[in-house]
């Protein structure tokens, strides 16, 4: 039985199970996603899926109508007051699923689970993701210079965060 985190009009978020492993790996290495994320290997995901989910969780975004998987999030630090969203990937892009699924994830984070804050990092040239995060209310908190090596080039990360009271001001 799949554990559902939260459900909206078009989408629901549920914990990944072992049958989702192939989808998660495929989504991560698709060129349009890979350039913006740091992929983890299959064993790392397998361990997360097989865990009780109390510290890390792989989450599938799926369509309510039909149950098709359309995206994937990785959540970490769930055993602290400050959750981290690490992977945010939508396979069916450009039709509002990113915004809708992140709104659901924020509702789960603050309304349901009562986290104090959530944070995320993002490559500084990922303008689509930065626009999305900031329009949802994330605040730029830091700039990590040349912190990840991608194809021989050191890249910068922007750290963004949202505090519970900022979320509740908007919702
Ligand atoms: C970033 C990502 C999650 C956004 O999901 P999405 O479903 O495509 O986005 P949405 O359709 O919900 O659109 C969200 C906003 O981005 C804008 N947007 C979406 N695609 C865009 C594009 N190609 N160019 C410019 N703006 C774009 C939309 O107009 C919308 O803004 P608006 O509501 O102000 O008009 C998705 O594109 C993705 O998986 N990208 C690759 C992986 C990645 O970068 N992850 C983030 C790592 S930090």
Q: Where are the domains of the chain?
A: 4-170
* Residues having CB within 6 Å of any atom of ligand 1: 33, 36-37, 88-90, 93-99, 122, 126, 128-129, 131-132, 135
How far apart are the two ends of the chain, measured CA to CA in Å? 31
CA angle 74, 11, 158 (to 5 degrees): 40
Pocket test for ligand 1, best of 86, 98, 161 (most atoms within 8 A of CB): 98
Q: Residue 1: pLDDT band by 50, 70, 90 thresholds? A: low
81-138: pLDDT as tens digits: 999 999 999 999 999 999 999 999 999 999 999 999 999 999 999 999 999 999 999 9
| Model-wide pTM > 0.75 | yes
Res 79 pLDDT > 80 = yes
How far apart (Å, rounded) are the C-alpha atoms in residues 153 and 157? Answer: 13
Percent of the chain with pLDDT over 90: 98
60-77: pLDDT as tens digits: 999 999 999 999 999 999
Instruction: Write down the pLDDT at residue 57.
Output: 98
Distance (angstroms) between ligand 1 centre and the Cα of 51 equals 30
23, 60 Cβ separation under 8 angstroms: yes
Instruction: Write down the pLDDT at residue 2.
Output: 79
102, 150 Cβ separation under 8 angstroms: no
> Which CATH topology does 4-170 take?
Aminopeptidase (3.40.630)
* Shortest-distance atom of ligand 1 to CA 123: 48
What single string gives the DSSP state of each residue in 104-126? HHHIIIIIIS--SEEEEEEETT-
């Amino acid at each position: 039985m799949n554990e559902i985190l939260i459900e909206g009009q078009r989408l629901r978020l549920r914990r990944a199970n072992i049958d989702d492993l192939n989808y998660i790996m495929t989504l991560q290495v698709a060129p349009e996603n890979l350039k913006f994320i740091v992929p983890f290997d299959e064993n790392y995901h397998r361990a997360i899926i097989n865990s009780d989910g109390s510290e890390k969780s792989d989450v599938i975004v799926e369509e309510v109508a039909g149950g098709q998987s359309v995206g994937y999030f990785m959540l970490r630090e769930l055993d602290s007051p400050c959750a981290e969203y690490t992977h945010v990937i939508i396979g069916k892009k450009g039709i509002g699923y990113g915004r809708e699924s992140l709104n659901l994830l924020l509702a789960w984070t603050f309304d349901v689970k009562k986290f104090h804050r959530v944070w995320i990092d993002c490559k500084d040239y990922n303008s689509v993701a930065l626009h999305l995060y900031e329009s949802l209310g994330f605040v730029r908190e830091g700039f990590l210079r040349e912190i990840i090596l991608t194809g021989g080039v050191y890249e910068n990360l922007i750290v963004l965060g949202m505090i519970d009271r900022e979320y509740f001001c908007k919702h």
